[in-house]
Amino acid sequence: MDAALHHHKVVSMDSEFPGFLRKTPRRSDELSAFADMKFNVDNMKIIQLGITLSDENGIIAGTWEFNFKFLIETEVFYDPKSIEFLKESGIDFEELRINGIDQLFFSNMFTHVLSRHRDLKWLTFHGLYDLAYMVKLDTKKPLPVSMLDFTEIIATVFGCCVLDVKYMARFYDDLHRGELGLEKLAKILGVKRVGGSHQAGSDSLLTARVFARMKTAEAIIKHDDRLVAYVPKKSRGHRQRLDIKPHSHSSLSLHVKSSGSMNENKKRTPTDMPEEWWHKIQAKGGIDVKLAIMKQMFATDLSTHHNCFSIPLKQIRDFSFLTEDEKRKLKEPKEKMRVTLMEPCGSESKMWLRQWNLKVAVPMC
């Protein structure tokens, strides 16, 4: 795997774990969902991890499936129905008891490998729990108590690009707006599964192949010029620009629009941008966040709806939203830093944290 990562930097990931001690209702707010996830992940252990490596063209280097030691007799917390379901899916818990991988040993080895490869693109499918269990493996600690700290740890562990294929499917009518599971999505795209469902290795491979197909499927491209990714796609012979529009109460959708020139947008304040944002951060010349993003960098970490954008420091003139500690840190010469921007969430005007990644071009005076 270490050798393959030098040329195959797209890492598709899936995990199997012993169910949910707390089940989160579908329409729960994000803070409640995070609290439930923390309780579940802190109290249970990962059972299986699947990793598939591929390149940007979808060429698969290989799939690895790691089966961890799991003793049902001694585990205090697990969902019996989930264990039975995993048994029916082919997971041999007796084999895990005898020959399963020690999680501490795996954590040390895997962390060492990741430290040698920091420019990776991570793929999941509905993968917030996958990320959470990986964070727990990497840090060897319970999840942090706040969503803010959790997103910062995700950025530390995985780098700047984590994509969720299920979230991406929301932007295509042909893919039922992200309402389908991995199996049905693969069927629509004509991607065949290798191996059994609900096996982490097979699921990670299917996720990689579905992602590659979503980037190239002619049936999708001819109906929709949008792409959810961390860089704008420049195919089909014309210039494209980034645009950002509200998609739901708790997230923003990023897509690519065709455009002959961006000059017409430079002095226009977009009406679809939440009014609460307008004075939070401004680029030089009065260009607001949306237009600065259109001109500059890219959205990442779509799986948790904490879209991170890079904006050169020299283009930002208003730092009033920063805390004193963050202002102090800005003065320190470093490549990147993270600041917090509050954003309204939903009709009840609840607030949640959005991370902004500022590339420090020059020290702040």
Residue 58 lies in a domain: yes
Residues 134 and 182 in one domain: yes
Q: Tally the domains of the chain.
A: 2
Residues 305 and 249 in one domain: yes
Helices (H) and strands (E) in the chain, counts: 12, 9
Residue 60 has pLDDT above 60, yes or no: yes
Question: Does residue 289 or residue 26 have the better pLDDT?
Answer: 26
> Residue 64 sits in which domain range?
4-214
Residue 17 lies in a domain: yes
Residue that finishes a domain, picked among 197, 214, 231: 214
Residue 3 has pLDDT above 50, yes or no: yes
Question: Does residue 150 or residue 347 have the better pLDDT?
Answer: 150
Percent of the chain surpassing pLDDT 90: 36
CATH of the domain at 16: 3.30.420.10
Q: For 201-261, what is the HEC assignment?
A: HHHHHHHHHHHHHHHHCHHHHCCCCCCCCCCCCCCCCCCEEEEEEEEECCEEEEEEEECCC
- pLDDT tier, 270 (very low <50, low <70, confident <90, very high otherwise): very low
Residues 150 and 283 in one domain: no
Find the mean pLDDT for residues 281-296. Answer: 35
Contact between residue 202 and residue 272 where contact means Cβ atoms under 8 Å apart: no
- pLDDT tier, 328 (very low <50, low <70, confident <90, very high otherwise): low
What is the rounded distance in angstroms from the CA atom of residue 54 to the CA atom of residue 7?
Answer: 8
- pLDDT tier, 151 (very low <50, low <70, confident <90, very high otherwise): confident
Residues 115 and 42 in one domain: yes
Distance of CA 107 to the CA centre of its chain: 21
Q: What is the pLDDT of residue 73?
A: 86
